[in-house]
């Protein structure tokens, strides 16, 4: 194995807590394939700091400590580190430059392959040196980020040109300030992606190759250069010598720039132990994904630029929900800059192609800000009429599809003096969220001022619901061979679906023409959703499989999993009666208390206990108080003792009798291995007293 000999050098004038953390991070470095020597210039005035270096030298071979010339003549007070900045005098800058050059000279004279120069207030990830050596660059810095003033945005220690300009160099052309901001944020965004990038300036955490040392790099002052700081003179000289400068961004160092930064040190060390580094991007992100990433770091100008690029794309994969999010983001961006009309134009343009409730609600809100209640009401009414998309899970404003436009219409009509309409729309909103504090307050206020004697809301007692059902269909139990079976259910069911005819026959008894129902984890080719769509007021269906959003892929799965005949005889009009979503059953994109019935056929035996708990919680949330959860599960794949414990914990009860004794005539199969049987479960919400 090839071994790289490196000299780690650092001029040190440091407070003891910071220096201790620095030295500890050096001891965590991964030195596989690296022969590392240490060259410390002890410029400390505090004996405790010098003692730390001495103790480090006792624990490690190849440690050289050279005494510096620290004195009060440096004009560097003990309190030069404060919560605002580091106080540097010009003479001290060039003194440090001479220290760094002496380290370069020692490395050159002693045949080292390179020098790693590092400031003593930086804390390194253990893999830092491995990444820098592997980069195979003559001069490469490891990136770190610093808020140069408290509360300001962190900035990298690398730049593109000048003293610290982080936007592209345009000679003889002055960039507008807005363009500078955009280019700077795009530069920051690149620095946040793991990789190696060419830059114009760097410092403080730099690997310098033997080739660069032999070429004559130096930190010495260039007399006719007005740039401040020895690192800038080093970079100019390196560029003049034809050496390119690079930065490695995979494992950013942690900068203890001010004392309060010590508070974040344990979290950084924990990430180091966990080897918490983002993976390098294999290919450029889409404009939308890149915009979200930029926004997560607070680079709003760059994020808005990328969102605008995304909206300009004519891409079949440009989903309306993502376009809606982009429009809302851009409207907020322009509004914060006092240009709300530009945001309005973006919303109106998008509505020409995609009638999204989120966009209508935003236009209504903008009108409310101007106290234009009449136009606001127009937009909110449009939101109530918008056809819900296949998937609401990723909606930037899910409430826009349910209660939000109604409560806003209540506010609009109250301000327009029409309290009857205000009361009407508020009640409509309560259908989606009966416990919404704002709408309940509105209702109380309007009834008081209008003198309305609305009937009291009666809580549905558990004894009034399904416990008194004597219907045999309401008993939760094993399915038996003499139970009703429907071998044709929208289409002829495959023989391999051994229990489906029984399950569908039982579950279908709970479909009513006035119901809004959900087929949970519905499967792709499975027919219950289609059967329900022809027998209920509204049918919703979701699955985790992305194919659920494609009619073509559903039909193809019917052909492959059922039969070509089933596909050819399938009524495509059924698609229009179902609102499909792709989502996880533990995070449903539906409003509270929305469904009359939820059906989940032979699904929950395939999930772990945590997912089961999350699914039962979500089903309870979206089911009406007097609704039913209609389930089937395979046994013994489901432990019924555990299942009932989860039911109790979440707030479910049996909607009738239950008996889980195994009958001799239970339907069963061994075609998949050990014998399995099928259990049906009819559940209702346990209401709080």
Q: Is the separation of the CB atoms in 591 and 622 below 8 Å?
A: yes
- The candidate with the shortest Cα–Cα distance to 217, out of 99, 105, 66, is 105
Cβ burial, residue 232 (10 Å; 0-12/13-18/19+): buried
Confidence of residue 477 (pLDDT cuts 50, 70, 90): very high
> What's the confidence (pLDDT) of residue 464?
31
Q: Is the pLDDT assigned to residue 497 strictly greater than 80?
A: yes
Could you tell me which residues come within 8 angstroms of residue 551 by beta carbon, excluding any fewer than 6 positions away? 572, 575
Q: Nearest-CA neighbor of 623 among 594, 581, 649?
A: 594
Q: Mean of the pLDDT values across residues 265-280?
A: 78
H or E element at residue 156: strand 155-156
At 93-127, the pLDDT tens digits run 899 999 999 999 999 999 999 999 999 999 999 99
Mean pLDDT of the chain: 89
DSSP classification of residue 285: P
- Banded model confidence at residue 461, pLDDT cuts 50, 70, 90: very low
- Give the H/E segment covering residue 114: strand 114-118
Which pLDDT belongs to residue 659?
A: 84
Which 3-state string (H, E, C) describes 652-684?
Answer: EEECCCEECCCCCCECEECCCCCCEEEEEEEEE
Confidence at 534, pLDDT banded by 50, 70, 90: confident
Neighbours of 654 (CB within 10 A): 18
Residue 658: predicted pLDDT: 82
Q: What is the mean pLDDT of residues 615-623?
A: 96
pLDDT over 70 (residue 63) = yes
Per mean pLDDT, which of 1-10, 162-171, 235-244, 491-500 is the most reliable? Answer: 235-244
The residues with which 8 forms a beta bridge, in sequence order, are 38, 116
Question: Structure tokens of 325?
Answer: 């999010």
Tell me: pLDDT of 360 over 50: yes
CA angle 236, 241, 244 (to 5 degrees): 70
**458 pLDDT higher than 90:** no
Cβ(327)–Cβ(347) under 8 Å?
Answer: yes
Long-range contacts made by residues 648-654, C-beta under 8 angstroms, separation at least 24? 649/613, 650/613, 650/616, 650/617, 650/620, 651/620, 651/685, 651/686, 652/616, 652/620, 652/683, 652/684, 652/685, 652/686, 653/462, 653/683, 653/684, 653/685, 653/686, 654/476, 654/681, 654/682, 654/683, 654/684
The residues, ordered by sequence, that sit 6+ positions from 76 with a Cβ below 8 Å of its Cβ are 13, 87, 88, 89, 92
Show the 3-state SS of 476-532: EEECECCCCCCCEECEECCCCCCCHHHHHHHHHHHCCCCCEEEECCCCCCCCHHHHH
Is it the case that residue 75 has pLDDT exceeding 50?
no
- Cβ atoms of residues 410 and 371 within 8 Å: no
Q: Burial level of 176, CB count in 10 A (0-12/13-18/19+)?
A: exposed
> What is the Cβ-side half-sphere exposure of residue 298, based on CA atoms within 13 angstroms?
4
pLDDT (0 to 100) of residue 327: 95
Helices (H), 110-243: 128-135, 177-191, 210-215, 230-240
| Mean pLDDT within 67-92 | 60
For the stretch 393-426, pLDDT in tens is: 668 898 999 999 999 999 999 999 999 999 999 9
Contact 129/7 with Cβ under 8 angstroms?
no
Percent of the chain with pLDDT over 90: 72
8 A C-beta contact, residue 646 and residue 666: no
Question: Residues with Cβ < 8 Å from 311, sequence gap 6 or more?
Answer: 323, 326, 327, 330, 346, 350
Q: How many angstroms separate the CA atoms of 275 and 354, rounded?
A: 44
Q: Cα–Cα distance between 6 and 133 in angstroms, integer? A: 10
In 221-283, alpha helices (H): 230-240, 265-273
């Amino acid at each position: 194995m090839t071994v790289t000999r490196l000299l780690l050098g650092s001029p040190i004038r440091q407070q003891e807590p910071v220096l201790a953390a620095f030295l500890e991070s050096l001891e965590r470095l991964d030195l596989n394939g690296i022969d590392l020597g240490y060259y410390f210039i002890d410029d400390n005035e505090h004996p405790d700091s010098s003692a730390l270096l001495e103790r480090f030298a006792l624990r490690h071979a190849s440690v050289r400590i050279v005494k510096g010339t620290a004195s009060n003549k440096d004009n560097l007070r003990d309190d030069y580190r404060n919560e605002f900045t580091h106080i540097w005098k010009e003479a001290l800058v060039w003194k440090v430059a001479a220290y760094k050059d002496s380290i370069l000279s020692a490395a050159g004279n002693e045949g080292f392959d390179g020098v790693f120069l590092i400031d003593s207030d930086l804390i390194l990830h253990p893999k830092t040196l491995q990444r820098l050596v592997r980069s195979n660059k003559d001069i490469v810095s490891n990136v770190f980020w610093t808020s140069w003033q408290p509360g300001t945005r962190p900035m990298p220690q690398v730049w593109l040109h000048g003293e610290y300009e982080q936007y592209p160099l345009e000679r003889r052309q002055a960039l507008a300030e807005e363009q500078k901001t955009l280019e700077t944020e795009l530069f920051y965004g690149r620095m946040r992606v793991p990789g190696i990038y060419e830059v114009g300036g760097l410092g403080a955490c730099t690997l310098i190759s033997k080739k660069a040392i032999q070429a004559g790099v130096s930190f010495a002052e260039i007399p006719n250069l007005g740039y401040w700081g020895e690192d800038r003179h080093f970079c100019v000289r390196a560029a003049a010598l034809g050496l390119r400068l690079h930065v490695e961004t995979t494992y950013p160092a942690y900068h203890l720039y001010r004392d309060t930064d010590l508070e974040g040190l344990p979290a950084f060390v924990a990430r180091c132990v966990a080897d918490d580094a983002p993976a390098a991007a294999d290919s450029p992100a889409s404009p939308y994904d890149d915009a979200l990433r930029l926004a997560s770091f607070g680079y709003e100008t760059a994020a808005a630029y990328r969102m605008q690029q995304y909206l300009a794309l004519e891409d079949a994969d440009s989903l309306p929900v993502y376009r809606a999010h982009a429009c809302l983001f851009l409207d907020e961006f322009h509004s914060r800059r006092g240009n709300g009309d530009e945001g309005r134009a973006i919303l109106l343009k998008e509505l020409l192609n995609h009638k999204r409730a989120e966009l209508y609600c935003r236009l209504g809100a903008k009108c409310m800000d101007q106290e234009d209640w009449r136009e606001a009401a127009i937009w909110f009414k449009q939101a109530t009429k918008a056809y819900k998309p296949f998937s609401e899970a990723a909606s930037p404003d899910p409430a826009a599809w349910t209660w939000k436009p109604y409560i806003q219409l209540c506010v609009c009509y109250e301000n327009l003096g029409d309290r009857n309409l205000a009361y009407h729309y508020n009640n409509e909103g309560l259908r989606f969220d009966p416990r919404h504090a704002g709408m309940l307050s509105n209702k109380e206020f309007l009834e008081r001022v209008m003198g309305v004697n609305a009937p009291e809301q009666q809580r549905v007692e558990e004894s009034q619901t399904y416990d008194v059902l004597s219907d045999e269909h309401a008993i939760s139990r094993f399915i038996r061979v003499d139970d009703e079976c429907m071998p044709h259910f929208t289409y002829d069911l495959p023989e391999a679906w051994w229990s489906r005819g029984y399950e569908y026959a039982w579950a279908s008894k709970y479909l009513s023409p006035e119901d809004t129902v959900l087929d949970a984890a519905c499967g792709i080719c499975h027919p219950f959703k289609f059967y329900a769509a022809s027998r209920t007021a509204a049918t919703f269906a979701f699955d985790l499989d992305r194919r659920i959003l494609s009619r073509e892929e559903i039909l193809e799965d019917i052909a492959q999993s059922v039969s070509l005949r089933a596909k050819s005889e399938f009524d495509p009009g059924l698609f229009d009666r179902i609102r499909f979503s792709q989502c996880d059953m533990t995070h449903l994109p539906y409003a509270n208390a929305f469904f009359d019935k939820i059906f989940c056929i032979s699904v929950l035996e395939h999930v772990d206990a945590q997912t089961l708990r999350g699914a039962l919680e979500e089903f309870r949330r979206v089911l009406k108080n007097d609704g039913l959860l209609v389930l089937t599960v395979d046994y013994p794949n489901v432990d019924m003792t555990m299942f009932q414990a989860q039911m109790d914990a979440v707030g479910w009860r049996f909607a009738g009798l239950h008996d889980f004794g195994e009958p001799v005539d239970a339907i069963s199969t061994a075609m998949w291995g050990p014998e399995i049987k099928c259990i049906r479960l009819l559940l209702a919400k346990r209401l709080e007293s």
